[in-house]
Amino acid sequence: MNPWLWAVGVNTLLAGLAYFSRVKLLTPLGILHSWALGVLVWGGLGEQGYAVIFFYFVVGSLVTRVGFARKAAQGIAEARDGARGPANVWGSAAVAAVCTLGYILNPHPLWLMGYVSSLATKLSDTTASEIGKAYGQTTYLITTLRPVPAGTEGAVSLEGTLAGVGAGLVLAALGAGLALVPWSAIPFVVLAATLATTAESLIGATLQQAGYLSNEAVNVLNTALGALLGAGLFWLLG
């Protein structure tokens, strides 16, 4: 069967399940936008590419709910009980979508490196933030290294940082296991995700905290940097 027909069929089924599910991981508009993203990824990268972004979405959603009651009590939990809307969908995956379109137009392996690296970066960032807010013993502002309350833009913690690196490693290994990238690319993906997540904290502590950038804009910059670093490092050193 044509991969685009599979893409429409599978994503329509999943969209229906998401809409009627008691656990709301997406808003209704979020479901629609995720459907469009899912069709693009499956149609362009096949089930392997889809499996990677689906893994990011599921794990990212679960991590958001870790320690949710505690984070909600402190006022630092995600809005709408963690349900993602269109801005969240594209803030996290616009770069992955661009890499997919790039691969459709010119099937070069660097597009796949960018794709996997962008999603590893976002999962690393999400995991570091959510685990840090839930379990970080001490959080520090990355620009001054002074202790700040959990949930402060630009705050980092040892627990969150280690969890973020681990999440990036798992997604990189998944990408390699599905033959989207070679196994030798894993260190480059993890390094790119870690560097981009650190840069995201710096941007959060400066431009975002000053009100110059929205959270979604920072996410796009974060994943774009991860994609560029991953592809660039692999091209230079791989």
Q: Which residue has the tokens 């590419």?
A: 49
Q: Binning pLDDT at 50, 70 and 90, where does residue 105 land?
A: very high
Put the strands of the sheet holding 139-141 in their side by side order.
Answer: 147-148, 139-141, 155-156
Query: Phi and psi dihedrals of 72, rounded to 5?
Result: -65, -40
Grouping H, G, I as helix, E, B as strand and the rest as coil, residue 22 is: coil
pTM above 0.85, yes or no: yes
Element (H, E) at 46: helix 28-64
Q: Which two tokens stand for residue 164?
A: 């973020």
Question: Is the per-residue pLDDT at 73 higher than 60?
Answer: no
Q: Distance between terminal CA atoms of the chain?
A: 35
- pLDDT, tens digit, for every residue of 81-101? 667 889 999 999 999 999 999
- pLDDT, tens digit, for every residue of 35-52? 999 999 999 999 999 999
* Alpha-carbon span 96 to 93, nearest angstrom: 5
Q: Where are the alpha helices (DSSP H) in 66-108?
A: 68-74, 86-105
